[in-house]
Amino acid sequence: MAETSMYERGLGPNAANYAAMTPCDFVERSAATFPDKLAIIHGPLRVTYREFRDRCRALCSALGRRGIAKGDVVAVLAPNTPAMLEAHYGVPMAGAVLNAINTRLDAPTIAFILEHGGAKLVIVDRELAPVMADAIAQTENPPPVVTIDDPLADGGVMIGDTDYEALLAEGDATADWVRPADEWDSMSLNYTSGTTGNPKGVVFSHRGAFLNAMGNVISFGLESGSRYLWTLPMFHCNGWTYTWAVTAVGGTHVCLRKVDPGHIFEQIAEHRVTHMCGAPIVLNMLIHAPDDQKRNFEHVAEIATGGAAPPSAVISSMERMGFKVTHLYGLTETYGPSMICAWPPEWNDLEVDARAQRMARQGVHYTTLEGMRVVDTESEAGVPRDVPWDGETIGEIWLRGNTVMKGYLKNPQASAEAFAHGWFHSGDLAVIHPDGYAEVKDRSKDIIISGGENISSLEVEDVLFKHPKIMEAAVVSRPDEKWGEHPCAFVTPSPGQELTSDEVVDWCREHLAHFKAPRTVVFGELPKTSTGKIQKFILRDTARGL
Amino acid sequence: MAETSMYERGLGPNAANYAAMTPCDFVERSAATFPDKLAIIHGPLRVTYREFRDRCRALCSALGRRGIAKGDVVAVLAPNTPAMLEAHYGVPMAGAVLNAINTRLDAPTIAFILEHGGAKLVIVDRELAPVMADAIAQTENPPPVVTIDDPLADGGVMIGDTDYEALLAEGDATADWVRPADEWDSMSLNYTSGTTGNPKGVVFSHRGAFLNAMGNVISFGLESGSRYLWTLPMFHCNGWTYTWAVTAVGGTHVCLRKVDPGHIFEQIAEHRVTHMCGAPIVLNMLIHAPDDQKRNFEHVAEIATGGAAPPSAVISSMERMGFKVTHLYGLTETYGPSMICAWPPEWNDLEVDARAQRMARQGVHYTTLEGMRVVDTESEAGVPRDVPWDGETIGEIWLRGNTVMKGYLKNPQASAEAFAHGWFHSGDLAVIHPDGYAEVKDRSKDIIISGGENISSLEVEDVLFKHPKIMEAAVVSRPDEKWGEHPCAFVTPSPGQELTSDEVVDWCREHLAHFKAPRTVVFGELPKTSTGKIQKFILRDTARGL
Please tell me if residue B3 touches chain A, with a CB cutoff of 8 Å. Answer: no
Instruction: Please report the pLDDT score of residue A227 as a whole number.
Output: 97
Fold classified for B49-206 = Rossmann fold (3.40.50)
- Least trusted range by pLDDT, from A34-38, A131-135, B184-188, B380-384: B380-384
Instruction: Please report the pLDDT score of residue A452 as a whole number.
Output: 65
Domains B49-206 and B259-443 share a fold: yes
B155 min Cα distance to partner chain A (Å): 36
Instruction: Please list every residue in chain B whose beta carbon sits closer than 8 Å to the beta carbon of residue A9.
Output: 410
Instruction: Please report the pLDDT score of residue B483 as a whole number.
Output: 76
Instruction: Please list every residue in chain B whose beta carbon sits closer than 8 Å to the beta carbon of residue A18.
Output: 184, 402
How far is residue B298's CA from residue B264's CA, in Å, rounded to a whole number? 15
**Mean pLDDT on A185-207:** 86
Instruction: Please report the pLDDT score of residue A20 as a whole number.
Output: 97
How far is residue A244's CA from residue A51's CA, in Å, rounded to a whole number? 16
| Nearest-by-CA chain A residue for B212 | A214
Confidence of residue A263 (pLDDT cuts 50, 70, 90): very high
Confidence of residue B401 (pLDDT cuts 50, 70, 90): very high
**Mean pLDDT on B384-389:** 93
Instruction: Please list every residue in chain A whose beta carbon sits closer than 8 Å to the beta carbon of residue B9.
Output: 410
User: Is the confidence at residue A196, as pLDDT, over 60?
Assistant: no
Q: Do residues B216 and B248 lie in contact, with contact meaning Cβ atoms separated by under 8 Å?
A: no
DSSP string, A515-530: GGS-SEEEESPPPB-T
- For residues A532 and A177, the model is more confident at A177
Instruction: Please list every residue in chain A whose beta carbon sits closer than 8 Å to the beta carbon of residue B220.
Output: none
- Least trusted range by pLDDT, from A382-396, B219-233, B243-257: A382-396
Confidence of residue A409 (pLDDT cuts 50, 70, 90): very high
Instruction: Please report the pLDDT score of residue B195 as a whole number.
Output: 47
How far is residue B127's CA from residue B256's CA, in Å, rounded to a whole number? 14
Structural domain boundaries of chain B? 49-206, 259-443, 451-545
Instruction: Please report the pLDDT score of residue A4 as a whole number.
Output: 63
From residue A533, give the alpha-carbon distance in Å to each of A527, A529, B113.
Answer: 8, 5, 61
Instruction: Please report the pLDDT score of residue B381 as a whole number.
Output: 65
User: Is the confidence at residue B32, as pLDDT, over 60?
Assistant: yes
Test A5 with B401 for CB contact under 8 angstroms.
Answer: no
CATH code for the structural domain at A24-207: 3.40.50.980
Please tell me if residue B203 touches chain A, with a CB cutoff of 8 Å. Answer: yes
Instruction: Please report the pLDDT score of residue A422 as a whole number.
Output: 95
Instruction: Please report the pLDDT score of residue B1 as a whole number.
Output: 36
Report the percentage of chain A scoring pLDDT > 90: 70
User: Is the confidence at residue A5, as pLDDT, over 80?
Assistant: no
Q: Angle at which helices A501-511 and A457-465 pack, to 10 degrees?
A: 110
User: Mean pLDDT, chain B, as a whole number?
Assistant: 91
Confidence of residue A195 (pLDDT cuts 50, 70, 90): very low
Which residues does B464 contact at the CB level (< 8 Å), separation at least 6?
B470, B473, B475, B489, B491, B504, B507, B508
Please tell me if residue A33 touches chain B, with a CB cutoff of 8 Å. Answer: yes
Instruction: Please report the pLDDT score of residue A254 as a whole number.
Output: 98
Instruction: Please report the pLDDT score of residue B234 as a whole number.
Output: 97
Q: Was domain B259-443 assigned CATH 3.40.50.12780?
A: yes
- Within 13 Å of residue B274, how many CA atoms lie on the same side as its CB? 13
How far is residue A194's CA from residue A331's CA, in Å, rounded to a whole number? 12
User: Tens digits of per-residue pLDDT, A516-530?
Assistant: 899 999 999 998 876
Q: Angle at which helices B280-287 and B261-271 pack, to 10 degrees?
A: 90
**Mean pLDDT on A290-302:** 93
Tell which A residues from 334 to 373 touch B, by Cβ distance under 8 Å: 342-345, 363-365, 367, 370
DSSP string, A182-208: STTSEEEEEE---SSSSPPEEEEEHHH
Instruction: Please report the pLDDT score of residue B197 as a whole number.
Output: 60
User: Is the confidence at residue B455, as pLDDT, over 80?
Assistant: no
pTM higher than the cut 0.95: no
Report the percentage of chain B scoring pLDDT > 90: 70
**Mean pLDDT on B156-171:** 96
We find that the CATH architecture of domain B451-545 is 2-Layer Sandwich (3.30)
Instruction: Please report the pLDDT score of residue B4 as a whole number.
Output: 63
A414 min Cα distance to partner chain B (Å): 11
Q: Do residues A457 and A445 lie in contact, with contact meaning Cβ atoms separated by under 8 Å?
A: no
DSSP string, B350-397: S-HHHHHHHHTS-BEE-TTS-EEEEEEGGGTTSS-EEPPSSS---EEE
Confidence of residue B421 (pLDDT cuts 50, 70, 90): very high
Size of interface A-B (CB pairs under 8 A): 193
For chain B, give percent helix, strand, coil, nearest 5.
35, 25, 40
From residue B480, give the alpha-carbon distance in Å to each of B439, B491, B501, B542.
Answer: 29, 20, 18, 14
**Mean pLDDT on B37-50:** 97
Q: Do residues B167 and B373 lie in contact, with contact meaning Cβ atoms separated by under 8 Å?
A: no
Instruction: Please report the pLDDT score of residue A197 as a whole number.
Output: 60
User: Mean pLDDT, chain A, as a whole number?
Assistant: 91
Report the percentage of chain B scoring pLDDT > 70: 96
User: Tens digits of per-residue pLDDT, B228-286?
Assistant: 999 999 999 999 999 999 999 999 999 999 999 999 999 999 999 999 999 888 998 89
**Mean pLDDT on B530-539:** 77
Instruction: Please report the pLDDT score of residue A2 as a whole number.
Output: 43
Which residues does B378 contact at the CB level (< 8 Å), separation at least 6?
none
User: Tens digits of per-residue pLDDT, A106-131?
Assistant: 899 999 999 999 999 999 999 999 99
User: Is the confidence at residue A137, as pLDDT, over 60?
Assistant: yes
**Mean pLDDT on B504-526:** 89
Tell me B200's DSSP state. Answer: P
Instruction: Please report the pLDDT score of residue B443 as a whole number.
Output: 65
User: Tens digits of per-residue pLDDT, A268-289?
Assistant: 999 999 999 998 889 988 998 9
Instruction: Please list every residue in chain A whose beta carbon sits closer than 8 Å to the beta carbon of residue B218.
Output: 214, 217-218, 223, 248-249
Please tell me if residue B176 touches chain A, with a CB cutoff of 8 Å. Answer: no
Instruction: Please list every residue in chain B whose beta carbon sits closer than 8 Å to the beta carbon of residue A363.
Output: 33
Please tell me if residue B249 touches chain A, with a CB cutoff of 8 Å. Answer: yes
Pairing of strands B336-340, B364-365: antiparallel
Instruction: Please report the pLDDT score of residue A353 as a whole number.
Output: 84
Q: Do residues B487 and B477 lie in contact, with contact meaning Cβ atoms separated by under 8 Å?
A: yes
A131 min Cα distance to partner chain B (Å): 27
**Mean pLDDT on B406-430:** 93
Confidence of residue A100 (pLDDT cuts 50, 70, 90): very high
DSSP string, B60-74: HHHHHHTT--TT-EE
**Mean pLDDT on A351-369:** 91
